[in-house]
Amino acid sequence: MLLAVQNIERLRLRLLFGMAFATFAGVAIALAMQAPSPTQSTPSPTATSAQASPSAQTPNGLTTVVLDPAHGGTDTGARGAGGIRESEIVLDFAGEVRKALEQQEFQVLLTRQGNENPSFDDRSAIANAQRAAVFVTLHISSTGVPGTVRVYVSSDLPAVTQSNGFISWDRAQAPFLGLSKKYGDLVQGMLAQRFKGSPDTAQTGTVRQLRTTAAPAIAVEISSVTVNDRADLDRMAAGVADAIARSTVAFKPSYVIPNMPGALP
């Protein structure tokens, strides 16, 4: 009986220590995320930390590209008859795009490195924690004309700024719709030059991944897993990577952080 009481006391102590540690860790992470970046004087309106301060707009601040190879883990995404899996191919594509972007001196962050499957929110959170980033989610379709590429940007999304000045996480993309469209059109234009049959401008869509991303964000969908040979898709990787890298360079001068959450640039 005495032993049981001692065990309960020990458990309580451990629980208290655990809670205290978690609180300290949380505060430390929050402070680290709010610390000003050495290259950026104006905070970006990220979904979690944005304040509705009428600060000046900051041009030419784009330094980071967050690449999102979609799906992963048990979610293989689109599957072709020849065993082609979207989740595997987009990871390879992300590697190519990363190289091309790093050659243009961008910092590149991947939402997954291997065959894991972060949630939509976890993927968005990586971009939302950056101060000067764009977000590119990579997909392979299961329909469409093979050898073509389509770029999607989020459909019109009414912005909701809460009374405390924070942007709603659910509509974090809203203040960036204008920038996303500009970036999407640039990428789609470059892709149309390389892949005949692709549209000239970006299309709008209700893509879940884009909605919670507080940065200029696009979805790039390559057609398709229906190709007979995976090599047909692999051959497209270099062209897609080059188009994204060049478009990101071209987009850099027009990258201006919206000065108010909810304001369309």
Partner 1 sequence: MNERWKFWLITGLVGAVLTAAIYAPMLRKRVKRAAGVQQQSEEQARRELTEAVPMNPGDPRVKAKLFWLSDADSSTLAPAIVELPLSKDPVLRSKQVLNTLLAGPVDAELRTLPTDAVLLAFYILPDGTAIADFSEALATSIPSGIASEQLAVDSMARTLEANVPPIRRLKILIHGQEVETLAGHVDLTGTFAVNTAATAMSPTPAPANSRSVSGALVARR
How many residues contact partner 1, by CB under 8 A?
35
Token pair of 235 as six digits: 């051959």
CA distance 226 to 140: 10
Piece of the chain touching partner 1 by CB under 8 A; list 12-20, 76-84, 96-104, 248-256? 76-84
Piece of the chain touching partner 1 by CB under 8 A; list 12-20, 56-64, 96-104, 139-147? 139-147
| Contact predicate 144/151, CB 8 Å | no
- The 184-223 site mask, x for binding partner 1 (CB under 8 A), equals -------------------xxxxxxx-x-------x-x-x
| Contact predicate 120/261, CB 8 Å | no
138 vs 257 by CB, closer to partner 1? 138
Whole-number minimum distance, CB 1 to partner 1, in Å?
39
139 binds partner 1 (CB under 8 A): yes
- Which of 64, 141, 213, 248: binder of partner 1 (CB under 8 A)? 141
CA distance 91 to 123: 14
Coil, helix or strand at residue 137? strand
143 binds partner 1 (CB under 8 A): yes
Length of the chain: 265
Task: Give Cβ neighbours of residue 177 (< 8 Å, ≥ 6 apart).
Answer: 153, 154, 156, 157, 264
Q: Answer positive or negative: Cα dihedral of 31, 180, 239, 150.
A: positive
170 binds partner 1 (CB under 8 A): yes
72 binds partner 1 (CB under 8 A): no
- Which of 93, 106, 120, 166: binder of partner 1 (CB under 8 A)? 120
- Which of 49, 55, 142, 254: binder of partner 1 (CB under 8 A)? 142
95 vs 205 by CB, closer to partner 1? 205
Task: Give Cβ neighbours of residue 129 (< 8 Å, ≥ 6 apart).
Answer: 33, 46
With vertex at residue 217, the alpha carbon angle to CA 177 and CA 257, rounded to the nearest 5 degrees, is 60
Nearest Cα residue to 45 out of 216, 166, 208 = 166
77 binds partner 1 (CB under 8 A): yes
144 binds partner 1 (CB under 8 A): yes
| Contact predicate 217/154, CB 8 Å | yes
Nearest Cα residue to 126 out of 113, 115, 139 = 113
- Which of 58, 161, 188, 224: binder of partner 1 (CB under 8 A)? 224
Whole-number minimum distance, CB 78 to partner 1, in Å?
4
Residues that bind partner 1 (CB under 8 A): 70-71, 75, 77-79, 86, 120, 139-145, 150, 152, 155-158, 170-171, 203-209, 211, 219, 221, 223-224
